Amino acid sequence: MTWQLHPQLLADCYELMTHQEIHILLKKEKIIPWVILVPKTAQRDLCDLEAESFAHLLGQMKKISQYLKQKFSADKINVAEIGNVVPQMHVHILARKQQDACWPGVVWGKTLDAATYSTEEVTMMQQEMIQLFGEVV
């Protein structure tokens, strides 16, 4: 079966970039900057990835964390791989602020307001991803 992005992730996010078989998504939740990495794999758990894929995914996670921390002056970065509801492996990276709507709680299981980004804001982040990772490969 051909691998495809899970429809729930596709519905909830903008696509920023795909870099070396990892989809970089931006959640439609503007109040808390939230990137989701989706590696092209049928595995469900991080620990089942082969060494190279594991290191590659976590290297991207680190880069995106640094980017979000700086761009949004985050007080704390939250990272997680959960996947209890949407089974396709995906890694959450969030820029948290002490004033945000969920602080100090976690975002999962909360109903947020799904405030969307403007087209210009999404385009800007797409361009910043190209700066971060180079051209799409």
91 DSSP β-pair partners: 37, 81
Output 101 or 116, the one with its CB closest to its own copies.
Answer: 101
CB of 35 to its own copies, least distance (A): 12
How far does CA 5 lie from the centroid of its chain?
13
CB of 82 to its own copies, least distance (A): 5
Of 9-17, 38-46, 112-120, 126-134, the segment contacting its own copies by CB under 8 A is 38-46
Output 71 or 116, the one with its CB closest to its own copies.
Answer: 71
Q: How many CA atoms lie within 13 A of 47 on its CB side?
A: 1
Q: Is the peptide bond before 87 cis (omega within 30 degrees of 0)?
A: no
Q: Phi/psi zone of residue 130: left (φ > 0), alpha (ψ -120 to 50 degrees), beta?
A: alpha
Q: What residues numbered 7-36 form the site for its own copies, per CB under 8 A?
A: none
Binding site for its own copies (CB under 8 A): 44-48, 54-55, 58, 61-63, 65-66, 69, 76-85, 96, 103-106, 108-109
